[in-house]
Structure 1
Amino acid sequence: MSAIAVGNPTPTALPRAFWALWVCQLVNRLGSFVQPFLVLYLTHDRHLSAGTAGAVAAAVGAGTVCAQLVGGWLSDRAGRRVTMLICFFGTGAALILLGSARSMVLIWVTAFLVGLLGDLFRPAVQATVADLLQPTERVRAYGLLFWAINLGFSVSTVSAGVLASFGYGLLFWVNAATSVIAGLVIWMMVPESRPAPEDDSAGRSLLPVVARDTVFLLMVLIQIGYATIYMQGYSTLPLAMAGDGLSSRTYGLVIALNGVVIVLAQPFLGRWMAKLDRPKLLAASMLVVGLGFGLGAVVHTWWGYGVSVVVWTIGEIGFAAVIGAVFADLAPIDLRGRYMGLSGMAFGVGTVIGPLVGTNALEHLGPTATWLGCAVLGVAIFIGQYALAPALHARAESNAANA
């Protein structure tokens, strides 16, 4: 992988507004109690059936997919800061409503709103980072945000179990409080960063531009393929481990390696990754993820599955650090938020396809074919992503010249 040819590779101090975003990500994830425990709350406290509770959780997921488009549109039209404020303050209110809802209609509506409002932040923060930082600084910045998310989530999964012992209702209030705190940080420390639109591009519609953007559309397909592989870790992997006679507790310990590796390794890898060719690093990271899951075809012990998780986690670190930077380089400046939203939606589509394809492949084809399929798909998206590298470099240079 070659070093970036342009720009100063020496890391520079990141601006105060970026660190405010980092704090928001950390605080928001530290309080992410409700979603992991939502099904348990609905079945235990609301006495709903498992199927109904799962459908309510799916409503949250539907909201998150819609949030990518809405958040991208809002961040380009109303502004990044306004979108983030709506996200955090609105999520706090939606969580309280969900926790107090008694009728099924209100539960459905508020669950969808929790997903919708809670994920408006993603395209807005990705666009803000691209606004604030030079292209050579973005990989390090996106990597640090990814680290904050995983650090916060690692703590929240432990503390949520403790809080839940005092009643699930407390989870809603604490989750809402952390969301409001994150909103206050945005209010006080993050200025609006949206570039002023040029006269000839003001108010441009997204779809006509995207329909002609073959490179972006291919990137979207590749992102769906990557997410399809990645979601096997949370859908097919526990079933495959059970088929090998390993307990759910063992799966929990094995998948916990994902968070441990990210928290420990990402800060050390971030500065090194920032010096590499971004499209090629993205391609290599996707390949590592595919091959990491492919190891499942030859392992049957807890430590073998652990090695598999460590391998694909290393690829995930590279992907998460660079994907936002690649899409930021690719996006027209006036459509940056909406391009980021479509990128997030593509990943969301993959999170829906992945569990369906993986679990059915496991049932009908067996584990060996399923994991080898992950490896083959990883090779395919690696070839596609690597082939797009020249076009992505050309687009990045064009956007930099027009900035």
Structure 2
Amino acid sequence: MRTARAWLSDTAGGLPGAFWYLWTGLLINRVGAFAMLFLPLYLADARQASDALAGLVVGAYGIGGVAGVLLGGVLADGWGRRSTLLWSHLAASVLMAGMAITTSLPAIALLAGLVGIAHSMPGPAFVAAIVDVVPADRRSRAFNLHFWAFNLGMAGASALAGLLAEASYLALFLVDAAATLATAVIIAWKVPETLAPATVRTTPAIRAGLRTPLTDRTFLAFVGLTFVLAVLSTQTSTVMPLAMRADGLSSSAYGLVVALGGALIVAGQLFVPRLIDGRRKHRVLAWATGLTAFGYGSLALADQLPGYLLAALVWTIGSMLAAPPNAEINAELAPPVLRGRYQAVFYLTFPAAAFVAPTIGGVSLQYLGDWHWLAVGAVGLIAVAGHLVTGPRRERRVAQLARTDAPVTSGPGRLTSTCPGPGGAASNA
């Protein structure tokens, strides 16, 4: 029987130390990112805000998130991954401490928008830095661990937030600020700058800003398919609670379904690389999207808790399989000097899905009833076909870019690319 150490070694795949410091920072960041989950309750209970006003403040946080993603991507490419990560975490820590002591609702709304910016800025820089330091043949494992840390951290955040909110909202915000500051300390202490030298940053591609990813048709086709998957996945937090209530199920039943998905990811995500390594990414994504579509489509037949739990099992497996190849493809299609910007455009699919899913899904559920879930499943199957059709062309482009990439040594222990094609990831010795 293999030892736990051997299994962990296979899972880690010889990943570099810089990755593990990034991973640790992300995990602490996610465990600590719980205060905003309770922002609506805080506004209603502690600040006596109306439901409408609370919604506007939470909306300010969401709008800030969209701006933060774009700003974080641009800064990650021009200013640096480390600088963007460090200063966004420091800013978030200060802003969160400010929210802890602020009593004015207009000031809280302003701070919520600024926190949304600061919370979203690190996303593109985190992923771009991982791509910089992890060799291409190990990125599947790196992104798998990245996805696992994100969900493990969120699970810990949900549990910790409930305890702190019952004790004190002041403690809720201050502990959040402290966890964010701890991430900043790890980055300042252990994470090097992974972006290529300044000579690479001044290329015409950098000066083109966001125009390059927004006119890259191959990349945008992939982003569109990811958006569809995000819309499907967002049904869990937007439309499904309404369907469960219509079926006479309690809030605790909904919590159990959500908890099942989180538990599956925490327990099983580390085994995913064994299932997908060596397989063509577009086929993995087709299977993953198909499972997700089947899971949500099957809710048309679910009217009791066991049916919802079985469906959640299926779509969670789909999400687990999709996470590593999604991140890998995004990295492969992004020129090294534009990784932050490509990540920013890619990350926009998630807030967009969070808007589209409830906006259209609520109307669909009201007028179509259970047929809504069949429509969701059908949309997912269209995305399956999209992956099968566009995948081979996308992979040919990645292979061509990899062949034309010519890495050269630009400093001690660092490799960069002389042309803006994927595959020239920086790697610190």
TM interval, short-chain normalised: over 0.9
Q: CA deviation at 1:212?
A: 3.7
| Distance in 1 between residues matched to 2:214 and 2:173, nearest whole Å | 41
Q: Which residue of 2 aligns with 1:3?
A: none
Q: Which SS does the other structure have where 1:195 is aligned? A: coil
| Residue number among 203, 208, 212 corresponding to 2:206 in the alignment | 203
Q: Rate the CA distance shift 1:274–1:90 in 2: closer, same or farther, 3 A.
A: farther
| Matched length | 394
Q: Which residue of 2 aligns with 1:344?
A: 347
Query: Does 2:236 align with 1:233?
Result: yes
Q: CA deviation at 1:20?
A: 0.6
Q: Rate the CA distance shift 1:203–1:33 in 2: closer, same or farther, 3 A.
A: closer
1:118-267 map, 5 Å: 118-196=119-197, 197=200, 200-201=203-204, 203-267=206-270
Q: Could you report, residue by residue, the CA deviation over 1:235-294 in whole angstroms, capped at 9, with x for unpaired residues?
A: 111111111111111111111101000001101113432332222212221221111111
Q: Which SS does the other structure have where 2:167 is aligned? A: coil
Q: Does the 8 Å contact 1:87/1:120 carry over to 2?
A: yes
| Distance in 2 between residues matched to 1:360 and 1:202, nearest whole Å | 42
Q: Rate the CA distance shift 1:260–1:281 in 2: closer, same or farther, 3 A.
A: same
Q: Does the 8 Å contact 1:282/1:319 carry over to 2?
A: yes
Q: Name the amino acid aligned to 2:90.
A: F
Q: Which residue of 1 aligns with 2:280?
A: 277
In the superposition, the TM-score normalised over structure 1's length comes to: 0.94
Q: Which SS does the other structure have where 1:254 is aligned? A: helix
Q: Name the amino acid aligned to 2:89.
A: F
Q: CA deviation at 1:211?
A: 4.6
| Distance in 2 between residues matched to 1:171 and 1:12, nearest whole Å | 37
**Structure with the greater relative contact order (CA < 8 A, sep ≥ 6): 1 or 2?**
1
1:259-338 map, 5 Å: 259-338=262-341
| Distance in 1 between residues matched to 2:206 and 2:314, nearest whole Å | 44
Q: Does the 8 Å contact 1:228/1:355 carry over to 2?
A: no
Which runs of no fewer than 5 residues in structure 1 stay unpaired? 1-8
Q: Which residue of 1 aligns with 2:383?
A: 381
Q: Does the 8 Å contact 2:78/2:201 carry over to 1?
A: no
| Distance in 2 between residues matched to 1:128 and 1:146, nearest whole Å | 15
| Distance in 2 between residues matched to 1:55 and 1:273, nearest whole Å | 43
Q: Does the 8 Å contact 2:89/2:183 carry over to 1?
A: yes
Give % identity: 35
| Distance in 2 between residues matched to 1:203 and 1:123, nearest whole Å | 16
Q: Rate the CA distance shift 1:56–1:355 in 2: closer, same or farther, 3 A.
A: same
Which runs of no fewer than 5 residues in structure 2 stay unpaired? 1-9, 406-423, 425-429
Q: Which SS does the other structure have where 1:206 is aligned? A: coil
Q: Does the 8 Å contact 2:196/2:337 carry over to 1?
A: yes
Q: Does the 8 Å contact 2:11/2:270 carry over to 1?
A: no
Q: Which residue of 1 aligns with 2:7?
A: none
| Distance in 2 between residues matched to 1:144 and 1:108, nearest whole Å | 35
Q: CA deviation at 1:199?
A: 6.7
Q: Could you report, residue by residue, the CA deviation over 1:1-37 in whole angstroms, capped at 9, with x for unpaired residues?
A: xxxxxxxx99730001100111111111111221111
Q: Name the amino acid aligned to 1:116.
A: I
Q: Does the 8 Å contact 2:205/2:212 carry over to 1?
A: no
Q: Does the 8 Å contact 1:282/1:318 carry over to 2?
A: yes
Q: Name the amino acid aligned to 2:25.
A: C
Q: Which residue of 2 aligns with 1:4?
A: none
Query: Does 2:84 align with 1:83?
Result: yes
Q: Does the 8 Å contact 2:289/2:380 carry over to 1?
A: yes
Q: Which SS does the other structure have where 1:48 is aligned? A: coil
| Distance in 1 between residues matched to 2:266 and 2:110, nearest whole Å | 35
Query: Does 2:392 align with 1:390?
Result: yes
Q: Could you report, residue by residue, the CA deviation over 1:220-247 in whole angstroms, capped at 9, with x for unpaired residues?
A: 2222222111111011111111111111
Q: Does the 8 Å contact 2:213/2:345 carry over to 1?
A: no
Q: CA deviation at 1:82?
A: 0.5
Q: CA deviation at 1:169?
A: 1.0
Q: Which residue of 1 aligns with 2:415?
A: none
In the superposition, the TM-score normalised over structure 2's length comes to: 0.88
